[in-house]
Chains A and B, each alone.
Chain A
């Protein structure tokens, strides 16, 4: 069964460093998303991406964040200068075509900023 994959599973970085979180969505899906979950809190929407551009973003997704689909398979989230409060589990999700409603989530990347 096709699934969303994410690498790395755990990333530890120093405050101020740049990190790139990688995702491989389900093949032939068209809509891509990043969410995050701070420990003990609910899952929060960050950004959605369709047709090679951002279609919606939350207030959390400020200028320090960017997303890219550099080739036909990867979908990346970059944080330019990490802060302590960026420590969270980051989930990538993808959704099929117009008639598809559910989003399928990857296993997540745990980001720890020291």
Chain B
């Protein structure tokens, strides 16, 4: 079984400050990790992924995430937050073995990011 935990329902930061949205995961085997963002009344937009290689991965809109195997974490970060970053952020995991057409994503409960002036 695979699972994702996002311990914070909401994160508030001031514009210009660094932000971190936390994610921990549990999976049997190598994890493939993803971050998605959801704006109001919109679908999920892919931000970044970790598959293998460097633990620090960079994605869209200046976001990055750090994979930490020992802590089973994949926290989302951005050095300087913008008001326009305010949205709902989802961490997701799947087992990193490509078997047939499966490879479902398991999502966390989401973290609402609010960036204020």
Interface residues of A, Cβ cutoff 8 Å to B: 4, 6, 30-31, 33, 35, 41-45, 48-51, 55-56, 58, 91, 93, 95, 98, 101-108
Contacts and interface: CB of A to CB of B under 8 A. Distances in A.
A-side interface mostly: strand
A6 B42 CA distance: 11
Contact of B102 (A41, A56, A91, A106): A56
Contacts of B49: 101-102
Interface in B68-94: 90, 92
Closest 3 CB pairs of A and B: A50-B101, A55-B101, A56-B102
A95 B36 CA distance: 15
Given A45-B105, A50-B102, 7 more contacts: A30-B101, A44-B107, A48-B101, A56-B104, A103-B105, A105-B44, A107-B43
6 contacts: A42-B108, A42-B110, A43-B105, A50-B100, A102-B46, A107-B43
A104 B44 CA distance: 8
Nearest to B110: A42
Contact of B90 (A42, A51, A95, A104): A42
B34 interface: yes
A45 to B, nearest CB: 4
